[in-house]
Chain A
Amino acid sequence: EVLLLDSGGGLVQPGGSLRLSCAASGLTFRSHVMAWIRQAPGRGLEWLSSISESGENTYYADSVKGRFSISRDNSKNTVYLQMNSLSAEDTATYYCAKEVKDPSKMTLGFDPWGQGTPVTVSS
């Protein structure tokens, strides 16, 4: 069974930084594209970023580009999200997820998801 364990969330002041981690098990981690998705309180889901299997290629939503950075350590089966210049609008539960691929490497969706780690940006 593939399991993703998100951690690193917490309370941070506006303008501050935080690094989230997602530890994966039950899969050949280096063979999978990973993503971060967030959900603000009472709101919908928002895709934030994805990283290729090797970590060479990264992709970001406009809302976080230049402030957030995704990375991975395949020796530790872990993907990270470094979040800088945080504001109240970044308050959300952050989920990591594995991208589901078809044989042609097209992404079909996200499965499974971690349990989420909450981030609160407040003074």
Chain B
Amino acid sequence: QSALTQPASVSGSPGQSITISCTGTSSDVGNYNLVSWYQQHPGKAPKFIIYQGTKRPSGVSDRFSGSRSGNTASLTISGLQAEDEADYYCCSYAGSRHWLFGGGTKVTVL
């Protein structure tokens, strides 16, 4: 099982919206509605920000939204803010109690 594919970097200006893609296969992203997303600031542990592709845990800003189509999931950050500058990782259930993460996307706020 290979890691999910994410772009290495995405950038945007404050106030803009950006979207990060996460591409898997029909054995993981395309087969289970169990994609989650994590935000990681430098030197910190990852933070859980999206689950089941589109849902936000309590306390997570509504500027973060998710979607899924076929074998690709996406995370959109609206109204980009300086504090959103971080690495973002997708994760999908891959069957047999196994989980796959993406390689991560560095978000830069210009």
Contact = CB atoms under 8 A, between A and B. Distances in A.
Contacts of A109: 36, 38, 48, 51, 91
Which residue, B47, B97, B100, has most C-beta atoms of chain A within 10 A?
Answer: B97
Given A100-B51, A108-B36, A62 B1 contact: yes
Interface residues of B, number: 24
A11 interface: no
B103 A106 contact: no
Interface string B76-110: 00000000000001010100111111111000000
A71 interface: no
B91 A110 contact: yes
B34 A106 contact: yes
Contact of A59 (B48, B98, B101, B103): B98
A113 B36 CA distance: 14
Given A43-B103, A100-B48, A50 B89 contact: no
Contacts of B97: 50, 59
Nearest to B97: A59
Interface residues of A, number: 24
A63 to B, nearest CB: 10
Interface string B52-63: 100001000000
Contacts of B99: 35, 47
Contacts of B104: 43-45
Which residue, A35, A46, A50, A108, has most C-beta atoms of chain B within 10 A?
Answer: A108
A111 interface: yes
A45 B38 contact: yes
Interface of A: 35, 37, 43-47, 50, 59, 61-62, 95, 100, 106-116
Given A45-B46, A45-B104, 10 more contacts: A44-B101, A45-B38, A45-B91, A62-B1, A108-B36, A109-B51, A110-B36, A110-B46, A112-B45, A114-B45
Interface of B: 1, 3, 34, 36, 38, 45-48, 51-52, 57, 89, 91, 93, 96-104
